[in-house]
A and B are shown apart, each in its own frame.
Chain A
Amino acid sequence: MMEKMIFGRFIPGNSIIHQMDPRAKISFVFVFIAIVFIANSAVTYGILLGFTLLVVFLSKIRLYFLINGLKPVFILLIFTFFLHIFFTREGDLLLDIGFIEIYEEGLRQGIFISIRFLVLVFITSILTLTTSPISITDGIEVLLGPFKRVKLPVHELALMMSISLRFIPTLMDETGKILKAQMARGSDIGSGPMKERIKAVVPLLIPLFVSAFKRAEDLATAMEVRGYRGGEGRTRYRQLDWRFVDSLSLLVLAGLAGMLWYFRV
């Protein structure tokens, strides 16, 4: 189950989307989220869906893989779909079997909302699937750069994010070890009533916290020794490279917005 989930996962590759600048991709996603709300008719939603499938195709990520990985999202999607179908009472009555009445407007809304949801989830997943977490962090740091003027600690936030990302596998390993150590002492997290299970988590969390604090302290020392004194006067090893495709992608997005505007009713 967990292995199949693709939320927040990165699949290395060399598609044109993989090679794009993270700044371009992040901006693209945010603008896209806004643009989606222009659509309000069959034609415009059709265009959105087509465009999204084109992006998926360009990313060379298999549609089947994407759909399979987003299964939990689909449950939510189907749920909202039926919610709209059953509770919108406008337009002609299409179907009436006793207590279930389906109206034309309900069906329309159900389909539209589902498409909107689907394209949003697909496009954001494509962002995280094709961009390594560290590049996303780099992109966010640069994009948020202007907010340094209003004293937003942009550099510190980005560093915190990248260090957290770096320590996720380490802490996961550690959790595994502590779990085994506690199991060897007879603690049983996998079974029993809920209350017992929650109680069993405490001896797992406490050693994990203690060690995380120890790690944080060591890391702070190691950083200081290596000359870290905040973002002032620092240079960057990772350079972002804005190329023609990046500008092009934003132009295409503007074109999409124009088209949606033209066809909306």
Chain B
Amino acid sequence: MNSNILSFENVTFTYAPEDETVKPAVKDLSFSIQDGEWIALVGHNGSGKSTIAKLMNGLLFPQTGKVSAMGRMMEEESLWDIRSQMGMVFQNPDNQFVGATVQDDVAFALENNGVPHKEMVLRVKEALHQVKMEAYFDHEPHHLSGGQKQRVAIAGALALRPRLLILDEATSMLDPQGRMEVIETIRELRRATGLTVISITHDLEEAAMADRILVMNAGHKQLEGTPEAVFLSGNQLTTMGLDLPFAMRMTHLLREAGVELEAEHMTEDELVDDLWTYYSRK
């Protein structure tokens, strides 16, 4: 069932429309996302990624163009209904923790949407189970690591049983361990529920796991395609200030050095396998 869950049609957004000198943060952007996809949105700082995220759930409205989600136009009347089907997690783990304890925080969105108490208790448990944080039910935020806080934030979004989860650089302030925890949680969720995910990230290793990548550059869409296709245009990405995944850079360098590898590799495991076969062929 491939239905459209979110689409942008020729969307342009400027933070200061009255000021001619300010360039639009998003220019004539069109794309659509199918139910069940994992999309990575990458681009340099200031390329408009967060603005796009805010346009997606009606925190901002475009000057021209159309945003629609869950089969409805984004406008004042549909706004809250659309939002309740869309979870969003931000960059700073501390600045999105509203509740006094883990369970209060997860319940926050449920309270806002008027979910009855009995149902809330069940959903809070369920959501914390999904991110493997049940053991921290009564913990206060300052006793949690960054990765744990982000997992709680994901649980807070999941509690509403959304159809779409948007992560705006949710891993960028975390240490490698925390980053792994969060990425693993997303993969697990996708496996278990087939949730649609849009992850905005700097980290191309993370983007490599997505089904499709959108590359933003100075407010417009530069590239779009599967990770393989996008990474093949390596130089373009590097000039935009994006680092290729380690395995890809390694593949390029090895090829330049005359090692005949079979294909482009995005993960270290694939590269290692290829090197083995290359070595045994020699």
The answer to whether B101 touches A134 (Cβ under 8 A) is: yes
Contact of A234 (CB < 8 Å), options: B94, B95, B114: B114
Contact of B80 (CB < 8 Å), options: A169, A215, A227, A238: A227
Q: Which residue of A lies closest to B109 (CB)?
A: A226
The answer to whether B98 touches A219 (Cβ under 8 A) is: yes
B156 at the interface (CB under 8 A from A): yes
Closest-CB distance, B29 to chain A (whole angstroms): 21
A224 to B97 alpha-carbon distance, docked (Å): 13
A11 at the interface (CB under 8 A from B): no
Tell me how many residues of B have a C-beta within 8 Å of chain A.
38
Q: 1/0 contact trace for B121-153 toward A, CB 8 Å?
A: 100100000000000000011100000000000
Tell me how many residues of A have a C-beta within 8 Å of chain B.
30
A133 to B124 alpha-carbon distance, docked (Å): 22
Q: 1/0 contact trace for A237-252 toward B, CB 8 Å?
A: 1110000000000000
The answer to whether A219 touches B96 (Cβ under 8 A) is: yes
Segment 160-179 of A: residues with Cβ below 8 Å from B: 162-163, 165-166, 169-170, 173
Q: Which of B84-92, B185-193, B203-211, B247-255 contacts A (4 or more CB under 8 A)?
A: B84-92
Please name 26 pairs of A and B residues whose Cβ atoms are closer than 8 Å in the assembled complex, sorted by A.
A132-B100, A165-B100, A166-B99, A169-B142, A173-B142, A214-B95, A215-B92, A215-B95, A218-B90, A218-B96, A219-B98, A222-B90, A225-B83, A225-B88, A226-B109, A226-B112, A226-B160, A227-B80, A233-B114, A234-B111, A234-B114, A235-B116, A235-B120, A237-B104, A237-B111, A237-B120
Complex A-B, nearest 3 residue pairs according to Cβ-Cβ distance, in ascending order: A218-B95, A237-B107, A222-B96
Binding site for B on A (CB under 8 A): 132-134, 162-163, 165-166, 169-170, 173, 214-215, 218-219, 221-229, 233-239
Q: 12 additional contacts, CB 8 Å, given A227-B84, A236-B117, A237-B108?
A: A162-B99, A169-B142, A173-B142, A218-B95, A222-B96, A226-B108, A226-B109, A226-B157, A228-B112, A229-B112, A237-B110, A237-B121
Binding site for A on B (CB under 8 A): 57, 59, 80, 83-84, 88, 90, 92, 94-101, 103-104, 107-117, 120-121, 124, 140-142, 156-157, 160
